[in-house]
Structure 1
């Protein structure tokens, strides 16, 4: 049986003008309580029980949901006598937990493919799986670092020191947890937070924490501005389309010459040389706001040629994400090819000097993204500054846009014409966003 644990004890002090005397999880979105959206989502994904941790005005929650009969989903309640934090509350109900369970925060609106999340956790063999995503304010968010296989290695809690560049990967407050992993704390009755206390403690015990990176919609409604934004996103249909159970529309973005300035003939391999092109942050932000996925696809032969390591390239991309984040923009995913077929460079890495299926114009990175994100290729786009990008789009079956920044198509490596041409990324994105709005009927 799949069990869902929801932490529904919040008062919603900052939302008092909207809530009145209602508990925070009962705030209405599209005519029904936020908590009801969560419970119905669980029912749609085959969960067998909901365990609600309640505190403020628990009577109103119990009156509305009862024992769950009208949702065909049994609901049980645990009343918190005093606030113990997110992890502390769950540990206080340790005896009521299933062997494996999902934790949701009662102030987050979401549309997540919970079946896919549950399966990823099972396949990973993790002690806990954390739902991670990029957001539009990483500089004041708690960030998570994972290795190439997706295992959590470090937590970077805010505030972040100036001059540090981290990946835009945020703990969204949705977890799958093995009960046995919590056994060492099963008798604790103290204030404890999942992100700041329990998960770092699990890492210190060499527990396996898996980072499930997904662009699906999940947003807390803890302030009036956030609440209004979530309501607007729901009204626009963006929340409903965000689950990876629904095919996603994506705008694939080349990096050099499209997002960032071209540098030397050797390629960008020093972090200090990275500079965004004018208007790029605003353009990516516009994609984020319209619900289109922004996915970067880039050849990076600087790794194969020995000009920089994978770790140094990651730092370059961390800086890119930080610069975008300063302007409330984010990339949903980054894919790069480290290979290069031509040999003869001093310091090159022979193991990466190969013919591969990921180097553009081969469609390998696009197809990998399609598998990861359930992409509707026929309704997706590729924006780049070279004929290689245009050929990649054609090979992958997506529409192409050539921009006049960077090479502006002057590379002439492929005899192929783009579907559209614009001066820059902002113009291309405005065109796509307008077409997307017409198509979706928003």
Structure 2
């Protein structure tokens, strides 16, 4: 795979005061056009061909970027003669598409390890791979549901029904697509009525799923944000200047904050079995939001022996975690991943699941979940932290080589399971997060506005 397709036809009506006569993808980011940042990202990851689908003022784009030789790639231009929507444009430009290709939107700033993405797509055999990420306003976002192995199972467009809890995963607007998977949709061009458009998120991907297509969800904490409004544009520029963007790629090891679940994020419930019993602790969302705004990866690691004991199914646990993510989202906070250990070493519980009654490496205080997260998210454990309410959490932190922090919520360290001491102790997760952020050079020390569009 060597082709990146960039949909660069945007007019930029809401940014007209900043753009003047420029097309939206040419807006300057730290003195260089946004499109140039995208082309350079493609080149860094070995993509040789960049195909730009252009519409408004293509002359200005071609004058700036030329044939791409200055940037180390070959650029081709495909003129959209009328707006057809994000997916419709590709169908109209079918002959310019290679066997498989990456799709970017021309109004997003991206710092993502495209090599990892390309390898994940190739290994999966998917028809399409959708880059997904959590955000801090899932309640008014179109959400994507993934099942075992990360395969997309459903799309949930807003508004969401009351009383339903969905996974906080949002379509980030970056894809890898197999060209032949688009073939069944080509008749749309001949059948469309004037003005009709075909969108990836609302039309094409749900259609692929309904017809048996295999779509992989690629969940990543990396940086992908659109600049479609003056407020978002200013936010992106500030995050470039502060180093948040540069630190976000999975190509570079990054620090994380690991969080225990029960007693740290939500009230301790002695083996939480019911979704109705899940309730956030005061200050929990504030603490997570503070970590989000500092650009730290936030990872939940939780022992859930209720699964091995047969008291909660994997599906019920997934619903509980969907609610946890949704409650955090209502307060503009999000976690990057939730890892759980379903095992339990002791046998003899009515209804238990024998296959899960094992002495595993992932059950805390063993560090398996933290080490798995480090592999999957390229985490620098030496610069990472673990916040929990028990000596089990402290011991797991020690075993993984991260800094242990105890909070006085939940068990407050009174479980007495292990003879270990934390490096620091705070009353709440909010206080712990404030302290951790203060240790990160250049990170904001106070919460601000929501930071994920």
Matched, 1:374 2:381: no
Deviations 1:318-373 (A, max 9, x none): 01100111111100000000111111222211111111110000100001101100
Matched, 1:274 2:278: yes
User: Aligned runs of 1:387-402 on 2, under 5 Å?
Assistant: 387-402=391-406
What secondary structure is seen at the aligned counterpart in 2 of 1:282?
A: helix
How far has the Cα of 1:158 moved from its partner?
1.3
What secondary structure is seen at the aligned counterpart in 2 of 1:145?
A: strand
The residue that corresponds to 1:334 in the other structure is 338
Q: Partners in 2 of 1:329 and 1:417 — Cα distance?
A: 29
Q: Partners in 2 of 1:440 and 1:56 — Cα distance?
A: 38
Q: Partners in 2 of 1:363 and 1:378 — Cα distance?
A: 14
The residue that corresponds to 2:41 in the other structure is 41
What secondary structure is seen at the aligned counterpart in 2 of 1:371?
A: helix
Unmatched tracts of structure 2, length 5 or more: 446-453
The residue that corresponds to 1:212 in the other structure is 218
The residue that corresponds to 1:261 in the other structure is 267
Q: Partners in 2 of 1:39 and 1:308 — Cα distance?
A: 48
Q: Number of aligned pairs?
A: 439
Deviations 1:238-281 (A, max 9, x none): 10110000101100000001000012x3x111111111011111
How far has the Cα of 1:423 moved from its partner?
1.1
How far has the Cα of 1:438 moved from its partner?
5.8
Structure 1 residues 184-193 or 427-436, which shifts more?
184-193
The residue that corresponds to 1:147 in the other structure is 147
User: Aligned runs of 1:60-75 on 2, under 5 Å?
Assistant: 60-75=60-75
The residue that corresponds to 1:15 in the other structure is 15
Structure 1 residues 339-348 or 117-126, which shifts more?
339-348
Unmatched tracts of structure 1, length 5 or more: none
What secondary structure is seen at the aligned counterpart in 2 of 1:212?
A: strand
How far has the Cα of 1:82 moved from its partner?
0.8
How far has the Cα of 1:188 moved from its partner?
3.2
Structure 1 residues 356-365 or 340-349, which shifts more?
340-349
Contact 2:294–2:444 under 8 Å retained in 1: no
The residue that corresponds to 2:128 in the other structure is 128
Matched, 1:224 2:230: yes
Contact 1:92–1:187 under 8 Å retained in 2: no
Equivalent residue for 1:288, pick from 278, 289, 292: 292
Contact 2:109–2:226 under 8 Å retained in 1: yes
Q: Partners in 2 of 1:323 and 1:116 — Cα distance?
A: 31
Structure 1 residues 48-57 or 14-23, which shifts more?
14-23
Q: Partners in 1 of 2:427 and 2:219 — Cα distance?
A: 33
The residue that corresponds to 1:105 in the other structure is 105
Contact 1:92–1:188 under 8 Å retained in 2: no
Deviations 1:66-100 (A, max 9, x none): 11110111101111111100000011100110001
Equivalent residue for 2:209, pick from 180, 193, 203: 203
The residue that corresponds to 1:252 in the other structure is 258
TM-score by length of 2: 0.95
What secondary structure is seen at the aligned counterpart in 1 of 2:305?
A: coil
Q: Partners in 1 of 2:356 and 2:139 — Cα distance?
A: 34
The residue that corresponds to 2:450 in the other structure is none
Structure 1 residues 184-193 or 74-83, which shifts more?
184-193
How far has the Cα of 1:231 moved from its partner?
1.0
Contact 2:293–2:444 under 8 Å retained in 1: no
Contact 1:4–1:104 under 8 Å retained in 2: yes
Structure 1 residues 14-23 or 384-393, which shifts more?
14-23
Q: Partners in 1 of 2:303 and 2:15 — Cα distance?
A: 47
Q: Partners in 2 of 1:282 and 1:77 — Cα distance?
A: 46
Q: Partners in 1 of 2:162 and 2:240 — Cα distance?
A: 35
How far has the Cα of 1:302 moved from its partner?
1.0
Q: Partners in 2 of 1:274 and 1:16 — Cα distance?
A: 46
Q: Partners in 2 of 1:26 and 1:44 — Cα distance?
A: 20
Equivalent residue for 1:320, pick from 308, 311, 324: 324
Contact 1:40–1:71 under 8 Å retained in 2: yes
How far has the Cα of 1:185 moved from its partner?
2.0
The residue that corresponds to 1:168 in the other structure is 168
User: Aligned runs of 1:325-364 on 2, under 5 Å?
Assistant: 325-364=329-368
What secondary structure is seen at the aligned counterpart in 2 of 1:17?
A: helix
Pair 1:245–1:225, CA change in 2 (3 A): same
Contact 1:359–1:365 under 8 Å retained in 2: yes
What secondary structure is seen at the aligned counterpart in 2 of 1:149?
A: helix
